[in-house]
Amino acid sequence: MNLPTSTETFQMLINGKWVTAASGKRFQTISPAHDVPVGDYPNGDGHDVAAAVRAARQAFDKGPWPRMSGAERAEILNRVAGIVRENIDNLAYLETLESGKPISQAKGEMDGVAGLWEYAATLCRHLYGDSYNTLGQDKLGFVFREPIGVVGMITPWNFPLLIISQKLPFALAAGCTAVIKPSELTPGTTLRLGQFLQDAGLPDGVVNIVSGYGLPVGAPMAAHRDVDMISFTGSTAVGKHIVAASQGNLKKVSLELGGKNPQIVFADADLEAALDAVVFGVYFNMGECCNSGSRILVEKKVADSFLEQIIERAKTVPVGDPLDEATKVGAIINENQFDKIMAYIDNGQKEGASLQLGGNQMNTESGRFIEPTVFKGVTPEMQIAKEEIFGPVLSVLTFDSTEEAIEIANNTLYGLSAGVWTRDIDNAFRVTRGVRAGTVWINCFMDGYPELPFGGYKESGLGRELGRFSLDEFTELKTVQLHLGPRTNWWHR
C-alpha cells in the first residue's frame, strides 16, 4: 500500500454544516510510522464548542430525533452500519495512517464498528420502562425511560472509530443528541463518520463534531451547562479533570479509563493457548490498549519454561510498516508516548527487574517503533507491575497459590479486565470472584461483543458501555403516577 500523495483537508460538523473553526486556525496529523502529514483539520476552541452545543440542544429540545419512533431511528442506524461496511478499506487506511496500527487489524476494527451500529439499531426498539399495577385500585405507576439529552463525547487516539461507536449509536438509539471531540491525533475517521450520518439521513444538529485539542475543546465541553452528560474514554488523569469540570451543572459522567490488566496462568492450563493469548494480549495495538494484558502472573512451578516460550514467540512477532498486511505491531503514536514507554523500561531495570527481551527503539527510516519487550523478576510493588505503560512491554510476576494470585492481581488502582487460564473450573471461578475488574476472560483474552457490557472497577472508570445496560446510561428515569376515579380530599382523609 502506498502513502497518500497529498494531505486530506477536513472541516468539522456543526448543525449539519461542514465548517472551519471560528478562529480560522488549523492543525495537522502526522503518520506515526511514516512521519508524513495525513489530515489537515480546523483547530476548534470554546466558540466552536458553544455553537455545537447550541445545535445539539436545539435538536434535542425541538428537533425530530428524540420524538421519532424506535423503528425510524433503527433504520438510520442500520444505514450507517451499511455505509461503514462499504467503506471498510478506506476507513482502515486512514485509521492506520493516523494511529500507526497495522492495516489488517484496522480492517477488523471497522468490521467491529459496523457490528456495533447494527447491534445498537436493535436496541432502538427496546427502550422501555416499567409499570406498577399494585399500588391500589385507584392508582397506576409508570416509570418512563427518557433520553438524557445532549451528550458530550470525548475519545482517545488508540481505537478512534471503534470507541466513538461504543458510545454514539447507543446514545442515538436512546434518542439523545451529541457533541463529539475526537482525539487531536486521530480525528479523521470520526469526521468521515459525520458524513455517513448525513448520508444515512440523520437530521441536522443531532450529531456535531468539533476537532481540536483537549484543553481548548474538551474542557469547555465538560464544563458546559447545556451538556447533560459527558461520556469520556481516555486516561484516568484526564478522567478526573472531566469529573471536576462537570460539577458546574452536576452533569452525569461516564468514564472508560486506563487499565493494568493481569493474565493469571495456572500450571494446569492449556499453556499453548495461554502463550498465544499472552503474546497477543500485550503486543496487540503496540500495547497501546486499555485492555492490554501488560502483566502476567504465572504459577511458579511452570514459570521458567513458560517464560522461555514467551520470549521465543515474542521474537517472531512481525513489527514494522503498518501498511504491510503481514505486520502485527506498528508504530508508537508520538514522541511523548515513546518517551513515556522508554522511561518505564528504564525504571523497570532501575527497580531491579530483569530485561529478558527488547527494550530498545528499532532502527527504522521513519517513525518510532519499540521492540517487543519482556521483563522477568517483577515484584508487585514495582511501577512496571502497577502502572499503565501503554506500550509493548510485558511484566512477568509469579505466584504460589490462588489467594496470592488474586492479591497481586488486585494490587493496582485499576480494575478494567483480567484473564485466567486453568482447566479447573472451581479455581477459575474463585479467581473470577476475587478479582475486582469489569471483565474477566476465562481461557480466552480480549474478546468483545456488542452484547456484553464493558467498563472498569476502581480508577478504570464509571459506568458501562455496550450491551443492553449501556442504553440505560444514556437515559433518565421519569416516575409517572396516575389517579383513577374520584379523589379523596386532603382534609377528609
Instruction: Give the number of other Cβ atoms within 10 Å of residue 294's Cβ.
Output: 26
Cell digits for 256?
472508560
Q: How far is the CB of 74 from ligand NAD (least distance, A)?
A: 25
Closer of 177 and 292 to ligand NAD (Cβ)? 292
Closer of 105 and 155 to ligand NAD (Cβ)? 155
Instruction: Give the number of other Cβ atoms within 10 Å of residue 40's Cβ.
Output: 14
Query: Per DSSP, what are the bridge partners of residue 442?
Result: 420
Scored b (16 or more CB within 10 A) or e, 222-250 reads bbbebbbbbbbbbebebbebbeebbeeee
Choose the stretch contacting ligand NAD; rule: CB under 6 A; options: 23-31, 195-203, 216-224, 267-275.
216-224
Q: Is 98 in the site for ligand NAD (CB under 6 A)?
A: no
Residue located via cell numbers 496529523: 29
Q: Is 39 in the site for ligand NAD (CB under 6 A)?
A: no
Q: What is the rounded CA–CA span in Å between residue 293 and residue 290?
A: 9
Q: Is 218 in the site for ligand NAD (CB under 6 A)?
A: yes
Taking the alpha carbons of 94, 99, 103, 106 in that order, is the dihedral positive or negative? negative
Q: Is 219 in the site for ligand NAD (CB under 6 A)?
A: yes
Residues 6+ apart with CB under 8 A from 75: 121
Q: Is 258 in the site for ligand NAD (CB under 6 A)?
A: yes
Q: Is 234 in the site for ligand NAD (CB under 6 A)?
A: yes
Q: Are 134 and 478 in contact (CB under 8 A)?
A: no
Catalytic positions, written as ranges: 256, 290
Q: What is the rounded CA–CA span in Å between residue 13 and residue 208?
A: 5
Closer of 258 and 348 to ligand NAD (Cβ)? 258
Q: How far is the CB of 129 from ligand NAD (least distance, A)?
A: 28
Q: Is 238 in the site for ligand NAD (CB under 6 A)?
A: yes
Query: Per DSSP, what are the bridge partners of residue 42?
Result: 26
Q: How far is the CB of 31 from ligand NAD (least distance, A)?
A: 17
Q: Is 251 in the site for ligand NAD (CB under 6 A)?
A: no
Closer of 139 and 386 to ligand NAD (Cβ)? 386
Query: Per DSSP, what are the bridge partners of residue 177?
Result: 150
Q: Is 222 in the site for ligand NAD (CB under 6 A)?
A: yes
Binding mask 375-394 for ligand NAD (x = CB under 6 A): -------------x-x----
Choose the stretch contacting ligand NAD; rule: CB under 6 A; options: 96-104, 128-136, 213-221, 403-411.
213-221
Q: What is the rounded CA–CA span in Å between residue 456 and residue 436?
A: 9
Tell me which of 253, 290, 341, 393 binds ligand NAD, using CB under 6 A. Answer: 290
Binding mask 145-184 for ligand NAD (x = CB under 6 A): ---------xxxxxx---x-----------------x-xx
Q: Is 233 in the site for ligand NAD (CB under 6 A)?
A: yes
At 363 the three-state DSSP class reads coil
Residues 6+ apart with CB under 8 A from 60: 66, 147, 149, 150, 176, 177
Query: Per DSSP, what are the bridge partners of residue 454?
Result: 465
Which positions from 313 through 342 interact with ligand NAD, judged by CB under 6 A? none
Q: How far is the CB of 417 from ligand NAD (least distance, A)?
A: 9
Q: Are 76 and 202 in contact (CB under 8 A)?
A: yes
Closer of 181 and 328 to ligand NAD (Cβ)? 181
Taking the alpha carbons of 196, 197, 202, 208 in that order, is the dihedral positive or negative? negative
Q: What is the rounded CA–CA span in Å between residue 286 and residue 100?
A: 9
Binding positions for ligand NAD, rule: CB under 6 A:
154-159, 163, 181, 183-184, 213-215, 218-219, 222, 233-235, 238, 241-242, 256-259, 290, 388, 390, 416, 456, 461
